[in-house]
Structure 1
């Protein structure tokens, strides 16, 4: 009798949970959110433009309505800026002789740089018998002001060192260092280097909401997607110039909002849940990089990054794949939690594409976090990928809804603190 009652209780509980999930995660809500994010009014949601601000405001309002806590004070916006330095003028002298500017590279984020032998810069050399890449890694990791003399045997690839200037986050507390590379055989007693730059600053914002854990508040589970896309096409295609990005990645962002609603309403998360919509994925992944710098990777238990789930996978409906499946046991945990359902998670079928390190999960994954991307995108044939035809009408919203439900169910033991995925194998 007790066994029969227990079986009845389990069945009834399972049915109630499934019923509640179906009420919260439903096609009507998926369509509503997706249609707003991928509408023409959003003008392609290009990062760094006013157009993406409308999408940011909508996502923040959805997080507020879901009952999430804002990331900072009363705002869900995780703001940051990036600066790019462009050289305007350069003059360098060593022991009284002027150096050809082509043989000098100044990597800095200061408008004006004035250096001489009394400036306290560390002097280093890259010799012909050394590996350039290894030496550069040492130099960059030191994060010191340096003058680096590079042997002329590296003259062919010397200009590429300017690429290390790139862009950087201006909101970092740490002071950015300056590195000057000089091509040639020098052991200088005196030197003077003067460089001027234009600094171009662009402002960005991730949208982040928090659902505090009950017993494991300092253990974080992240659900994420990028909400930016490509903006407006220079040349209209069949009369359309807006990259709506319905699948890439309004679909993933819709999933994050739906999951935020779901987990808030069922209210059983022992670990703290972080819901993040990243900016600037399409132009370098800057949003997820900045976000990742705000967390101790040892406290991040898992990351569910969701990208392009609006079309059927190569296996058809009720299926998706997980990038980097074999790097942790997270995929096995998700499959265990889906036992008895019609849904299946598969390993990434496109290993040659290196998808694990190409999406917003990559920064935390490199730090050992079980951070994976869930997708259905057919990388050998998505007809609307990065085209203006990526519109809501091209999506299978019913199947997309089932994928979101599968993520909710499969993550339950991780959210509840019962399962902890293994760390990433590099």
Structure 2
């Protein structure tokens, strides 16, 4: 799961209006999901022998071969013109940054790498330098003309360093009303967008101010995810169109920076929430240099297909990412392998178990694709590459579902659909859970923007309706207190750390129920004739309409 997508979200209400979507009258009966497949594959994939499954490593080679072998044994066919693999050209950069030096304020400041800030670059160069770059606070760093919002209005930031707040201006709203959907994060709140827009504006550097509440994760996640080897698409231009330096500041470092300019971070952050906010030059200059180790090497997506009986050129797709962080910060015992058992060995095992279940049931009317993608932890790169270079036409891809970390706290009484209300797939999900006596509850933290944080988003932004769902925290054994405790423990002690290891005591009942639900949704899509769309007004509706119209 990408750094900003934490496991075990609380449940989300599925809107009743979606029940009007054309589709099957009844859901397919829940199939038998092999617990042996789930436990065996999760344990193998998260073992030390796989070294944390970092792309382009020996751990990748073992991983993709294992997945392809299990797809073959399940009864799938190779999904890429006779091959199980789709090459994903990546460039790996390992940056060694200097300290970030700030001058021009009431006193010079020196921010240390990892403790005060992290810094990296998308540019593929052996050395990158930022020298005396003027610093400007640009609020949330959003340029959204359709919403009447532009934090860069009247501003020329070419060659300058911009300081940006995480999330959207209205993330603290209690409702879903506001210029950016209230407390529900939009793509404008994602760190990926903020760096993209800063580069478009010509900024030489962009630093996001970390704050745990709006980011939805702590500084430890930034440390583990933004240091060491980083991956990007191997662009012919070496990403020279991107900012020289991108990174994060701790909240304390940002407060010091603003104070040295005679400003207050809290006061300017409050001002940045208001329409009409204008950027504020801080009267300071930033300097930093980075040395880059560069390695170009292809990683691989693994793809299998169960061809359809009557409409094989129409497709349903399941996705899960096989990668994790590889070697990372060691724990007190010296263990430096981030095994990624929950995230996402479990989801990869679930993908194989679904392949087995569908193959055992026999071909559906439409073809079903099973796609295990690389480099999710590096910014959804494997799924993005597939979406930009699809083996099967996206206009002919009906929809699908993504699995990123299965529920391993046990069976649950409630269910979550991240991004509920976005597409007509909600009705399929609603039918799939109907026989299971599950309760649907509202999402407590839509400000986290989870829909934009895993591999389904790569396909969604190209117009393909995708769902991403999980069991909730109301556990059959222990209720919400037990579920919340399990989630809190995972976030605090295991997420993106060497402690995310296989546990023989895990209760797989919730994971099996999740996969049964995914099976029901996928089978209904694959045996049906409907083409569910995004709901009217959704950001992806126009893309889908143009895609289906062949435009």
Q: TM-score with structure 2 length normalisation?
A: 0.53
Q: Flag the 1:350–1:396 CA change in 2: closer, same or farther, 3 A.
A: farther
2:519 to 408, 413, 417: 408
The aligned runs of 1:204-219 (5 Å cut-off) are 204-219=299-314
- Aligned partners of 1:64 and 1:153: how far apart in 2? 53
1:298 to 373, 395, 410: 395
- Aligned partners of 1:153 and 1:58: how far apart in 2? 48
Quote the residue 1:187 is aligned against.
Answer: none
The aligned runs of 1:56-67 (5 Å cut-off) are 56-67=64-75
1:35 to 43, 47, 57: 43
Moved more, 247-256 or 403-412: 403-412
Quote the residue 2:545 is aligned against.
Answer: none
Moved more, 394-403 or 326-335: 394-403
Quote the residue 1:258 is aligned against.
Answer: 353
Quote the residue 1:81 is aligned against.
Answer: 89
Task: Please state whether the residue corresponding to 2:435 is helix, strand or coil.
Answer: coil
Residue 261 of structure 1: CA displacement?
0.8
- Aligned partners of 2:49 and 2:402: how far apart in 1? 26
Is 2:432 aligned against 1:323? Answer: no
**1:305–1:361: 8 Å Cα contact kept in structure 2?**
yes
Q: Flag the 1:169–1:219 CA change in 2: closer, same or farther, 3 A.
A: farther
Quote the residue 1:160 is aligned against.
Answer: 203
Whose Rg is larger?
1
Quote the residue 2:374 is aligned against.
Answer: 279
The aligned runs of 1:37-186 (5 Å cut-off) are 37-83=45-91, 154-157=158-161, 160-161=203-204, 167-169=232-234
Q: Flag the 1:167–1:403 CA change in 2: closer, same or farther, 3 A.
A: closer
- Aligned partners of 2:467 and 2:353: how far apart in 1? 19
- Aligned partners of 1:35 and 1:78: how far apart in 2? 25
Residue 345 of structure 1: CA displacement?
6.1
**1:33–1:254: 8 Å Cα contact kept in structure 2?**
yes
* Per-residue Cα deviation, 1:158-208 (whole angstroms, up to 9, x for no partner): 773578xx94346xxxx7699789xxxxxxxxxxxxxxx997413210111
Q: Flag the 1:198–1:396 CA change in 2: closer, same or farther, 3 A.
A: closer
Residue 109 of structure 1: CA displacement?
7.8
- Aligned partners of 1:375 and 1:388: how far apart in 2? 24
Q: Flag the 1:392–1:168 CA change in 2: closer, same or farther, 3 A.
A: closer
* Per-residue Cα deviation, 1:8-53 (whole angstroms, up to 9, x for no partner): xxxxxx9x955xx22xx13223212222112222111112211121
Q: Flag the 1:178–1:276 CA change in 2: closer, same or farther, 3 A.
A: closer
Unaligned runs of 5+ in 2: 1-25, 95-121, 127-140, 145-154, 162-200, 207-230, 243-291, 474-483, 540-551
Is 2:469 aligned against 1:389? Answer: no
* Per-residue Cα deviation, 1:200-226 (whole angstroms, up to 9, x for no partner): 413210111011112222221111110
**1:312–1:377: 8 Å Cα contact kept in structure 2?**
no
Matched residue pairs, number? Answer: 333
**1:321–1:349: 8 Å Cα contact kept in structure 2?**
no
* Per-residue Cα deviation, 1:219-273 (whole angstroms, up to 9, x for no partner): 2111111011111233233353322211101111111101111111111411111
Q: Flag the 1:62–1:178 CA change in 2: closer, same or farther, 3 A.
A: closer
- Aligned partners of 2:304 and 2:470: how far apart in 1? 22
* Per-residue Cα deviation, 1:136-174 (whole angstroms, up to 9, x for no partner): xxxxxxxxxxxxxxx9664424773578xx94346xxxx
Q: TM-score with structure 1 length normalisation?
A: 0.68
Residue 366 of structure 1: CA displacement?
1.4
Higher relative contact order (CA 8 A, sep 6+): 2
- Aligned partners of 1:258 and 1:367: how far apart in 2? 27
Task: Please state whether the residue corresponding to 2:323 is helix, strand or coil.
Answer: coil
- Aligned partners of 2:44 and 2:156: how far apart in 1? 56
**2:316–2:522: 8 Å Cα contact kept in structure 1?**
no
- Aligned partners of 2:430 and 2:468: how far apart in 1? 15
- Aligned partners of 2:443 and 2:368: how far apart in 1? 25
* Per-residue Cα deviation, 1:291-316 (whole angstroms, up to 9, x for no partner): 11233332221120011113349xx6
The aligned runs of 1:223-234 (5 Å cut-off) are 223-234=318-329
Unaligned runs of 5+ in 1: 1-13, 87-106, 112-131, 136-150, 182-196
**2:305–2:368: 8 Å Cα contact kept in structure 1?**
yes
Task: Please state whether the residue corresponding to 2:389 is helix, strand or coil.
Answer: coil
